[in-house]
Every structure is written in structure tokens, then in C-alpha cells.
Structure 1
């Protein structure tokens, strides 16, 4: 009998990931055994598969089905092999230009406006290069990505090459109903991550009068047109009291998630913050108060409190995101940042970074990892400084950081966030002291107390803050 792959399945191979497949509109490839992969290769509507071969489980998993008369594989479904490391997604700053001039922009090394961007020709070339590397999904960001004069042509170009936009980071200014419907007409369904920094507080951080109403209107339009929306909210001393009413409003509007981010020590924010910045202790304390109050409101919107926890009220579950992995998952060979390892960050000038949150520091300190406009993309996913940076392992971090290596919490924090460490120490192998505070000052236990009645979705460390002998100063 002949079988054929389901329409949403495409077979792929990369260096060190020899047997895998993509599902359409899912970022990450899924690995399978060699035996399963070899059988899927024969699901082409042409070759016969015997009844005694293990095809039934693959049909049950919706990987293939009995081939109909004349049914053929599409070009996207056919097996493709890539001579580079596996990266499923690209986080692409289309332009550094922005209609706003936010006080905290982490892409900037100072208060000067960014002017670099991809031309249409450069953008289409990068899309083609991404396809040739097996990249499947895009996050579009800026600057303000929709400020680019060729934004929709670039957006369409991604879909014309059988890839998709997973997320769109925007301040919302240029969102219209017409654009949203045009996106839907091509089968696009990105998550809109819209910046909104609190009721009555948004305009100050965005440095633009009226920006708050524009952002709220954009959120409303996206929800009305059926797009998933996540609000991205920077919290600081001047808007911390607005977090709860802001979350309630967003939940009532139909927003699916809110990400609250401590406005951190990016070069531009350091210049502009004055007394507005929260210390890490203040941030954790204020967010504990917020979390405890929020789960009593009856709101169902998910909330991600950066470097602290994700809360899912609809399921009464939470995950402490400060816990990098539980003890069952830890390996010395894990990358220092698993997100960076699968998401290529490309800035508007073509420079590569481990993540965009680090870009201001790399620019300020003259650190260069490669440029896709100059060299193309593939070479940087095969060898060189960028690849070496994102493939840095926890073992290498311990070898360069004796304080982390000796810490009983290391297997749980996994060295913390490298962007935070760089911001706090200027060293990518430095200590992320926010995690030291979180674990050694008992915030893991305080979080569990604030979420009584909620189930933790991972196995928590057995060690407690009271067992720690190390001292950590407030930061």
C-alpha cells in the first residue's frame, strides 16, 4: 500500500540533527529515530509500504495517510538537507528607525536615533538565505518594523517562500484593519506583541504624547480581527502601581498574555532613568505583590513576569522562570541560553547578536560577531564568532566563573540570563546577580506562598534558601 506525508509535514536534516520534520506554522522541528525517518521518506505516494511495517503509529500521529489517486508531495514537504547547524527561527530587526524615541530602547548605545535598515533587495536576499539554511519561522522587530516602507512586501515574501511570521513586535502605531485583513488573506496569523507600559504611564516611557491611546486602539483592532495579542510592559518605579489595573484592563480586552519586564540597565535607560529604575529586590517584591493580587481578580489572561514566573490562571498553574531547568533536565552540555541557540538575532545593520537585548552593549564595546549583509547568513551558521557565542555551554560558563561553579543553585538557575549578566558586570561570563537574589533570599519560596492553590509545572529544587551559606547584597 502507498502512503503520503500529511500536508503539514516536511522532512529535514541539519548537522547534528539528522532525522527531523517540521510541522507547518510550528517553529521547532521534531526529531525522530532513523527507522521512523527512513519510513517517512518512503511516504511519497509512489513507494509501496508493506503491511508488516510500523506505519500505523505514524498514521495515528498524523504524520502520513494512505495516498489518494494522483496525490503528490509539495516542494515544501520533500526532504531537504542543510549543511549548517540547526536554527529554526530568525529574530529580525527590519529597521532601526522608529516613529517613537523611547527612553529605554535596548537596541541603542545612547540617545541617538537609529537609522540603519534593510533595503527591499537586502531583505529578500536574507529571506532566501534563511530558507536555504532551513529556517522556518520569523520574529519581526525594530525599531518599529511596520515603519519600514516595504514592510508588507517583505512580510509577503516570507509566506511566498513557505515560511511564516510567528511574532510581530510593534508599538501598534501602523496597525490598521486593512493590514490585518491583508495578513489573514495570505494565511498569516502572527502573535502581535504590542508595547503597552501601563494606564496613564505609557506616554512617558515612549517619549510621545498620545502613544497610550494609539497602543490601546491597536490592541483592540488585533483582538477584533482574531489575532493573538501579548502586551509587553516595562515596569519601573513610576508605573509599578499601575500594573494591576493595567492587567485587568488588558484581560477584559481579550489580550491572551501580558509580559512584565523590569526596565533594565541598557545604555539608553541608564542615561534616562534617573530614580525611576527598580533594584532587583524592589522588582521582585513589587511583582510578588502584583502576582498575589492578580490571581485574586478572576482574570484569565496569562502573565509572564520576566526572570520570575509565568502564571496561567485558567489552569491554576505557574512556572518559576528563574528556574532554568529542573534537576532531571540539567546537563553540562546545555547552551547557556537555549532560546538564543535556536533564534538567530539579526540587527538592522546586518550585525548578528546572541539576542537583541545584548545589542546595545556589543555596539558600545565594539564587539563584532559577523554581518549578514557583508557575508550572507549561512557561513555564520556553519562556523565563526557568532556560532561560537551561541553554542557556549554551561560547562564553559562554570570554567570561566568560579562563583557560579561553586553555587548549589547553579543546576537550577543554569547561570541565569547572559543579557542580565552582561548588563550588571560587562562580562558575558559574569554573575547574573538577579538569580542569586532570587534563590538565596527565598523568592522561590515566597512565590509559592503567593500562589497557594496553584500547581507548579516543574519539579522545584529540593535545596532551600535557608540552606545557602553564601551572602548576597541587594542590587
Structure 2
């Protein structure tokens, strides 16, 4: 996750005081765990990485098994649990799980599509004390309902945001941009303000699950740049005004270098300080400080790697699985610098983005270390030439050059 607003607030403070603030990075021994507690969902969204449907899935972790895993996660130093699905609210014991997570001191988030949250359920969610609730919106009503494959889904999710806000729950909007919904981004940012939401999470499309099936509908790189410019504009304006709303992005760590370029153009006196700050951030954290456990207890480097199984918590503790580098992918993800190839290897921003997400390269070429085809920075910007590639058997046959396409 790239915390746009955090860096903008630091820059705003630097402008006010004449000195870039000294920020102590939070040290955590273990990764943030995104936990897909249930695969069942009442929706079948086009870009779902879990390929969920509205039926039960056999073999999901029982409540005692969940508690055992939580004990191991706490001992391992995991700071936060993001409870997800499917639709996590379809799990009958979700509030028992969240209560125990809070009692154990985990930062506890809930990731929901929002369609099930009526006034009584919103009150119960508020009483559970979640630190944050993320509600997915893929555009305004026509776009969102089409993405979610359910007429009325937008109205129900918007109602959920309002119910939660009335109870003082910190709620945010989650948006995955593709070529089919990029036009709705400005209106969603305005909706965030109008509804009093505290956070906007912008997710670049990653090639996994249904997101992989529909990767040909990913937004063009120039559209991505325009979206980031808009997010930077909103975050900078809020930071200058002292507003504590958060804009964050995920699934494309080129956002860090792109912010550095924005600062070079607009606040050049702070470029060096921000560069140092972004190197400390360290870029993509898959297999390092971000982890995923699926509904069956299988561990993955992050949520986009469901096709790569590191082991099951029923067989070995999470802590043991996570530290095991006998798996070649995990060994490479934990390596510094990572063994990336092509222009990623020679990129001047490698120390900032850490080679970006590796799943796009793996899905399109069969090679997880090839240069990231989702990087929207030009060859000139990264200081290295692109390497055209022919995807491996079973992948798209077209030759792809990762330099930005035209809009």
C-alpha cells in the first residue's frame, strides 16, 4: 500500500516549517495479514481475485482453527488483520473472530462489498470496534452495478457507507480502476467528500482471478497517470488544509517514483528528502510485510498470488511457512534487491519500488522476475529500455512492450 496522504502531509509540514519532518517508521516483526475467512459471496464481481460465488465452499477453517492461527500470528508479531472474503459478513462467526482479534491487540479491518449492511448490522459493526471498514465501489450506479453484476448494488453499498458513518465508524471507499470505469474516478472522489468517508483506496488492476481473465480491459498507462495526478491533487489540497482524510493506492509501486517526479516538478526543494523517505518505505512488500491466508488456510505471498501455495496452516504454523525460503518465489521476494530482469533490473527507482508487483509479469510471461508490464513509467523516466517479450504457452500470444501506451 502506498500512503499518498501521509507523504503529502509531510511535504505540507515541510513547507510550513522549512524542514522535512523526522518520521519514525513503525517497526513490525511480522507482516500485515489479509485473511480471506470465507470464499462465499453474494456477488460475482468481474475483477474478483477469489473467483467467489454465492454458495458454501467445503473445508474452510473452523473457529477453533482460526483461533489457533491467531495465537501464532500474534506471537509472530503480526500487527494487523484485514478480515476479508468473499463477503466476510456471510461468515456466522465473524463477530467472534473480530472480537478476539481486538482483544489480542490486532489492528482489525473489515473489507466488505457493503450490500448486506443495513442499519442494524451497521450498529453491530460499530459495536465490534473495527478500526476501519472498507466498502468497494467501482464507479457510480450504472458502472458499479455492471461490475458487480447486480442491479441495485450501488444503492445498497452507498446506504452501508451512510449507516456506518452515522455510527462514527471509520469507513473508506475501495476502487479498482480499469478502462471500463476510469471515467467515474472524479465523481467517486467527490462522493467520498459528500458522504464523509475518511479514506479512498485506489487499486490498480492486478492480473489475478477474474482480474487476470479481464486484463485486456486494464486502463491504459496514460489513463493511470491521469488518475494518479488527480489523486495527488486531492491529497495535496487536503494536506495543505489540514484535512486528515487518506488517499492510498495499491498494486502498483510505480506510484512511489511517480510521486517523486511530481515533487520534482512542484516542490523541488524537497525531492532529496522525499527520495530518502521513499527508499525507507521500500516499495512492494509481497512475501515480506504483506501476507495472505485464504479460506482453506493456505498461505500466499499476497492476495494476488492465490495460484501459488506456500503451505497450509493446518500442516505448519504460519510463522514457519512465512520464514521458509525453500520456495523459489519466496526466496526471490525476500531477496534484496530482488532478482528482477529487463528494465526493472536497471531502473533508477528500483530501491524505491522494489521491482513492483511480480504477479503481472508471471501471469503474462510465465516468469515472475520479468519487468513489470503494469509499470506506467516511460523508458526515459526509469533510465532503462523495455524488453519486448512473447508470452509463454497458454498466455496471450501478442508481443507486449511495457512503455506507456497512448490514451
TM-score by length of 2: 0.71
How do residues 128-147 of structure 1 correspond to structure 2 at under 5 angstroms?
128-147=71-90
Q: Secondary structure at the match of 1:434?
A: coil
How do residues 450-461 of structure 1 correspond to structure 2 at under 5 angstroms?
none
Q: 1:357 is matched with which residue?
A: 304
Change (3 A) 1:146 1:473: same
Does 2:195 match 1:246? no
**Is the contact between residue 260 and residue 305 of structure 1 (CA under 8 Å) also seen in structure 2?**
yes
Q: Give 1:184 shift.
A: 4.7
Give distance in 2, aligned partners of 1:112 and 1:246. 27
Q: 2:385 is matched with which residue?
A: 470
Of 426, 430, 433, which residue of structure 1 is paired with 2:366? 426
The number of equivalent residue pairs is 346
Q: 1:125 is matched with which residue?
A: 68
Stretch of structure 1 that moved more, 299-308 or 339-348: 299-308
Does 2:102 match 1:159? yes
Does 2:197 match 1:255? yes
Q: Give 1:253 shift.
A: 0.8
Q: 2:377 is matched with which residue?
A: 438
Give distance in 2, aligned partners of 1:328 and 1:284. 22
Give distance in 2, aligned partners of 1:121 and 1:369. 22
Q: Give 1:431 shift.
A: 1.0
Of 354, 361, 371, which residue of structure 2 is paired with 1:414? 354
**Is the contact between residue 111 and residue 268 of structure 1 (CA under 8 Å) also seen in structure 2?**
no
Change (3 A) 1:350 1:278: same
Stretch of structure 1 that moved more, 387-396 or 126-135: 387-396
Change (3 A) 1:276 1:227: same
Q: Give the gaps of 5 or more residues in structure 2.
A: 1-24, 260-265, 387-401
Q: Give 1:88 shift.
A: 5.1
Q: Give the gaps of 5 or more residues in structure 1.
A: 1-27, 32-85, 312-316, 442-464
Q: Give 1:177 shift.
A: 4.1
Q: Give 1:156 shift.
A: 1.9
Q: 2:393 is matched with which residue?
A: none
Q: 1:210 is matched with which residue?
A: 152
- For residues 245-271 of structure 1, give each alpha carbon's deviation from its aligned partner in whole angstroms, at most 9, with x where no partner exists: 221122111111212223333242343
TM-score by length of 1: 0.62
Change (3 A) 1:328 1:241: closer
Of 326, 336, 360, which residue of structure 1 is paired with 2:275? 326
Q: Secondary structure at the match of 2:288?
A: helix
Give distance in 1, aligned partners of 2:341 and 2:191. 44
Q: 2:49 is matched with which residue?
A: 106
How do residues 184-195 of structure 1 correspond to structure 2 at under 5 angstroms?
184-185=126-127, 188-195=129-136
Give distance in 2, aligned partners of 1:148 and 1:412. 38
How do residues 262-281 of structure 1 correspond to structure 2 at under 5 angstroms?
262-272=204-214, 276-281=217-222
- For residues 297-332 of structure 1, give each alpha carbon's deviation from its aligned partner in whole angstroms, at most 9, with x where no partner exists: 999644335433699xxxxx99xxxx9x8357759x
Q: Give 1:430 shift.
A: 1.9
**Is the contact between residue 336 and residue 392 of structure 1 (CA under 8 Å) also seen in structure 2?**
no
Change (3 A) 1:247 1:215: same
Bigger proportion of residues as helix: 2
Q: Secondary structure at the match of 1:97?
A: coil
- For residues 51-90 of structure 1, give each alpha carbon's deviation from its aligned partner in whole angstroms, at most 9, with x where no partner exists: xxxxxxxxxxxxxxxxxxxxxxxxxxxxxxxxxxx31532
Q: Give 1:166 shift.
A: 2.6
Q: Give 1:191 shift.
A: 0.8
* Larger relative contact order (Cα-Cα within 8 Å, sequence gap ≥ 6): 2
Change (3 A) 1:381 1:409: closer
Give distance in 2, aligned partners of 1:408 and 1:131. 37
Q: Which has the larger radius of gyration?
A: 1
Change (3 A) 1:380 1:469: closer
